[in-house]
Amino acid sequence: MNLVSARALAPLLTGWRDGGVAYSSLAGRIRLLALDGRVSAGTRLPAERELAAQLQVSRTTVTAAYAELREAGYLLSQRGSGSIVQLPFRVPGQTESQPGYLDFSKATLPAIPGIVPAAQLAVEQLPTYLADSGFDPVGIPALREALADRYTARGLPTTADQIMVSIGAQHAISLVARTIMARGDRALIENPTYPHALDSLKAAGARIVPVSVTAEGGWDEIGLEQAIQRTSPSLGYLMPDNHNPTGVSMSVDLKQRVLGLAARHGTTLIADETMAELGLDGAPALP
């Protein structure tokens, strides 16, 4: 379980005193940190007394803020375990979604119109494969060939036997992590990041090395370079193009520097390209 100290949390709370009721403003700021991933779910917050001393407020203020977060579903407090950050599964007192309610517990968009004809075409081709057992440990050959052709067209010569089709991104990340890392190895990961990638790395026994990414400034380049140099992580999980959730992309120069550092320090990089070809906000998609 991750622990954020009062000293580390205080700088992230900048501006919480700007107005309103003190405890409610503090709770709102912590809730924002949980929503944007700067304090990830599963992180233990500092004890009330420690945070109160760091912020130079009464313990009553922090106690009331924690209570408001528990009521809203953002905090789980257990005797002996402290107060653990979580994201609520539903609005308190609300069992079903209602019009006008935005569910921030998931980031899933409706299918684009092109999915319908693609699904119809797939159904038409399905009888070709019904005579087989349906079991293929690395994916249907035709799909692997199409994926290899796509990478080749983008400038990375690839053959079908170099492709393995997984049942999803989390499955692929978990397989790679368990293959490359031993328990206790360090794993570099962006913060914020795809939450299920973090789950997969933790399940593989990784010691997480976080590097900050923001929508305004992109990657903390100095922090990223120093993290690789100082910890020599076995694995690095990055989303260099159309990063989720910030939407920023690495410059070519930064990509080259990260690749060079990873090679020198024995770090295997996983580049998650789930969002890479979307071309967000008018930016050209990858070739």
Residues 191/208/34/225 CA torsion (nearest 10 deg): -20
Q: Is the residue at 263 inside a domain? A: yes
pLDDT score at 95: 43
Q: What does the pLDDT look like over 22-48, one tens digit per residue? A: 999 999 999 989 888 888 888 999 999
Residue 69: is its pLDDT beyond 50?
yes
Backbone angles phi, psi at 24, to 5 degrees: -70, -35
DSSP state of 19: S
Q: Which of 49, 90, 41, 42 is nearest to 66 (CA)?
A: 49
137 CB-contact burial (10 Å; exposed 0-12 / middle 13-18 / buried 19+):
exposed
Residue 108 lies in a domain: no
Q: Is residue 112 part of a domain?
A: no
Residue 241 lies in a domain: yes
pLDDT tens digits along 179-234: 999 999 999 999 999 989 999 999 999 999 999 999 999 999 999 999 999 999 99
CATH number of the CATH domain containing 260? 3.40.640.10
Backbone angles phi, psi at 279, to 5 degrees: 60, 60
Domain limits for position 263: 169-282
- Among the candidates 44, 66, 85, a domain finishes at 85
Does residue 98 lie in a domain region? no
Domain count, the chain: 2
In a domain, 206, yes or no: yes
- What's this model's pTM, rounded to 2 decimal places? 0.60
Of the CA atoms within 13 Å of residue 29, those in its CB half-sphere come to 19
Residue 256 has pLDDT above 70, yes or no: yes
